[in-house]
């Protein structure tokens, strides 16, 4: 098992869970009652932070693991940490203003691109050796 990637997976899942608690807190603060998912822009930005991170989980997790399995556990774990850092910036920025989401968004997108490159490189190397 790629142990470093396992640890980064746990950290990513925990940070993603933390974002869900921020949505719940924003619901209370801005008085957006369930089952509504809109009603106050300050709530909606926090909601979108969580939702966008959810939207990227089926991109991030498969690429992270394919990169770990086919290329390198250590490399995948380091880039996975960069993804989490990008997501932290995205959360902090987007909570303040819509435009401020972009630096963190691009960091996490580039991390996914690197994981893709690692995975594809590893797969090509493996299949060309087979």
Residue whose tokens read 């993804």: 83
Task: Select the residue interacting with a second copy from 26, 66, 77, 79 (CB under 8 A).
Answer: 66
Query: Is residue 114 part of the contact set for a second copy (CB under 8 A)?
Result: no
Cβ atoms 90, 104 nearer than 8 A: yes
Instruction: Report the 10 Å Cβ neighbour count for 73.
Output: 17
Q: How far is CA 99 from the centre of its chain?
A: 18
Task: Select the residue interacting with a second copy from 8, 27, 32, 50 (CB under 8 A).
Answer: 50
Task: Give the whole-angstrom CA distance, residue 19 versus residue 24.
Answer: 9
Query: Is residue 74 part of the contact set for a second copy (CB under 8 A)?
Result: no
Q: Which residues bind a second copy (CB under 8 A)?
A: 1, 3, 6-7, 9-10, 13-14, 16-17, 20, 33-38, 41, 44-45, 47-48, 50, 54-55, 57-59, 61-63, 66, 69-70, 98, 101, 116, 119-120, 123, 126-127
């Amino acid at each position: 098992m790629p142990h470093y990637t396992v640890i980064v997976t746990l950290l990513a899942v925990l940070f993603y869970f933390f974002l869900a608690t921020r949505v719940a807190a924003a619901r209370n603060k801005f008085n957006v009652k369930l089952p509504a998912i809109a009603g106050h822009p300050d709530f909606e930005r926090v909601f979108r932070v969580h939702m966008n991170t959810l939207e990227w989980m089926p991109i991030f997790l498969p690429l992270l693991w394919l990169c770990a399995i086919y290329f390198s556990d250590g490399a995948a774990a380091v880039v996975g940490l960069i993804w989490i850092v990008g997501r932290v910036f995205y959360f902090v920025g987007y909570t303040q203003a819509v435009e401020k989401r972009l630096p963190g968004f691009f960091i996490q997108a580039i991390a996914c691109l690197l994981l893709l490159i690692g995975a594809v490189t590893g797969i090509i190397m493996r299949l060309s050796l087979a």
